[in-house]
Amino acid sequence: MARSWPTQSQFTAGEVSPKLYGRTDLKQYFQGCRTLTNWQVMPHGGVTRRAGTRFVGEVKDSAHPPRLIPFIFGVEQAYVIELGHDGGAGYMRYYKDQGRVVEGAKTITAATQATPVVIAAAGHGYPNGAQVMIAGVAGMTEINGRRFTVTGQTANTFELSGEDGTGHTAYVSGGEAFRVYEIATPPWAEADLWEVMFAQSNDIMYMAHPSQPPQQLTRTGHTAWTLSTYTVTLGKNPVPAFTAANDYPGAVTFIQQRLAWAASNNNPQKIWLSRSGDFLDLLAGTNAADPFDATVASPRTNVGRWLLGSKGLFFGTAGAVWRVNADEITPTNFPLKRVASAGCAYRAPVDVDDTVVFSKRYGKPANDGRQLDSLGFNVDTDEYSPDEISVISEHLLAGGVREMAWQEQPDRTLWIATEDGALLSCTYYPQQAVIGWARHIIAGAGAAVESVAVIPGDNGDEVWLVVRRTINGATRRYIEVIDPTPSPDNVYVDAAVAAATSSATALWTGLNHLEGESVAIRADGAPVASKIVSGGAILLDAAALTVEIGLTYSATLVTNDLATGAPDGASQGRKKAIGKLILQLKDSGGLTASAKTGTAGDDVVFREVGDEVGAAIPLFTGPIAIKPPSGWDRLGRVTITANQPLPATVLALIMREEVND
């Protein structure tokens, strides 16, 4: 019988495809996992439990999924746009600083204990159907921090549709109402929202889809947005004009101070470029700065999917990717060259330091997005060339890409919402050989991620989501945000509310979005017993100063089968047992571990003799040795689970393996 101490000191390959389970000749086998759920791969080698999602608000109409679009004027002024349909018309709503953009406050002077609640607010000006937020009410605190639809409006009163106030505390004083700001002019059909392409310059975003005229979104203030049809300078209309059906461009980007459009239905392989420095001039000319157009010459007519201005102009079509590389693009200097033979899906790519990451066409359009390619400069060939970055974890993309977003900080991560509702992350440092995929299961009955966007936050880039869940028997769609940096200060529950008070209390409100749900709770830093939300509130067993309340999720890591340790060769498939496990951890708590497949893990005990009784157990950093449930089998897998609302970071696993000769 042979004994050894194999170590897994990095997880940089993430969750690997089942097709690699026999490839013990690949380094990715020993740097990857069989399962990596709700963990993020760190570029340093370890994995850290993803932060939970903070609840921001419900979408306008939960019967219809909206799309999230980032609008980034600068790192200090960044918004997320909720682009959606309410069943009859399109709309845009706006979010910043992890909250809704709302109009100015209207002072509340009364609220009735009736069905529905009637609010008195002199000269409020709200029409029926408007949605308002309520805050600062003394007495009837049950309506604070919530969104309501206005009905039964008069000049000085309005009803909160459906709100039964007969059991609420009586109104005492104060409070304000804020109308949720929106514009209601987007022309696109609900089914087309995920194919709208956009490009932004300062306070103006240009938006394209071949079903509608190109649009121009302009911001002049937090509550001052306009959406209008893109109109070229008088007398400078292009030919064909962008004003007739089937002549609307479907792609847009910026390149060398020009605005570029492409791919109308009538001209699916044509690109139009504006005058340099004048985005509204499309009258073709021959001078260097003049507007002009060009058509891809290829043996097949493949409709254009997207444009991207990066290190050159990239044009993705259904049959290939083309690139224009010129120090100065002019009407007489527009060298188009095919750089990838892979056809593109109708999804916006992302630009990663002059490397284009795009979703590939997979057979017919219905199968789009099952593979991802990166298109970067190859110093060996002195050319741009594609590289499939999903091949090691191809099974995770089986549902197809719905949307992609790039997070630059704190760790360079590609986030993907798939067509079947999954959320994926890929930690992407190709120069350090780190391409680590993981899947993220958002908590809640029937939970599915339907859109993802990234904008700068206070401490890194924030990941924003549209999450569909079943709450109290009804379908709800929520806007939620993942904190940028996994750390002990983050929440570790989903759809979370984090709150604090100056004097300890057991009653915590503001949980109407989780009505009827069993919620996990971290109170004063320690996990406590779960509770059922009733009337938008919970009552703790003991008073607390701070809480994090939300839906619980587990993070699961399962190693690949051990394949080393036998003196005469590989141990994969031979009977073995793991008798001891040493975990190298950082700022961790709430872990279980098992070394036998199908056997529940034992709790990793972090409490020490000197710890204060009744206080939260300090998070653990360093090596800890345990004897997990084990036994002889032919697998040799270790399962690490984080299932409490606490952070956890695994830097390495050291296993004592015994192999039967």
**How many angstroms from the chain centroid is the CA of residue 81?**
14
* Strands 204-209, 212-221: pairing kind: antiparallel
Give the pLDDT confidence score for residue 542 in this predicted structure.
95
pLDDT tens digits, one per residue of 466-501: 999 999 999 999 999 998 766 677 899 999 999 999
Q: How many residues would you count in the chain?
A: 661
Query: What's the first-to-final CA gap in the chain, in angstroms?
Result: 5
Neighbour count for residue 327 (Cβ, 10 Å):
6
**How many angstroms from the chain centroid is the CA of residue 508?**
28
Residues of the chain with pLDDT under 50: none
Positive or negative torsion for Cα 167, 173, 174, 178: positive
Before 116, cis peptide (omega within 30)?
yes
The dotted CATH code for 2-49+555-659 is 2.60.120
**Phi then psi dihedrals of residue 143, to 5 deg:** -100, -5
Give the pLDDT confidence score for residue 407 in this predicted structure.
95
Separation between Cα atoms, residue 538 and residue 268, nearest integer Å: 57
The fold of 190-482 is Methylamine Dehydrogenase; Chain H (2.130.10)
By CB atoms closer than 10 A (0-12, 13-18, 19+), residue 208 is buried
Could you tell me the two tokens for 517?
């749900």
* Residue ranges covered by each domain of the chain: 2-49+555-659, 102-180, 190-482, 494-551
Angle subtended at Cα 24 by Cα 23 and Cα 28, rounded to the nearest 5 degrees: 80
Task: Indicate the average pLDDT of the chain.
Answer: 91
Separation between Cα atoms, residue 565 and residue 542, nearest integer Å: 51
- Sheet with 304-310, strands from edge to edge, namely 304-310, 312-317, 321-324, 336-340
Helix (H, G, I), strand (E, B) or coil at 7: strand
Give the pLDDT confidence score for residue 385 in this predicted structure.
85
The dotted CATH code for 102-180 is 2.40.30.180
Give the pLDDT confidence score for residue 235 in this predicted structure.
62
Give the pLDDT confidence score for residue 255 in this predicted structure.
95
* pTM listed for this prediction: 0.94
* Strands 494-508, 518-523: pairing kind: unpaired
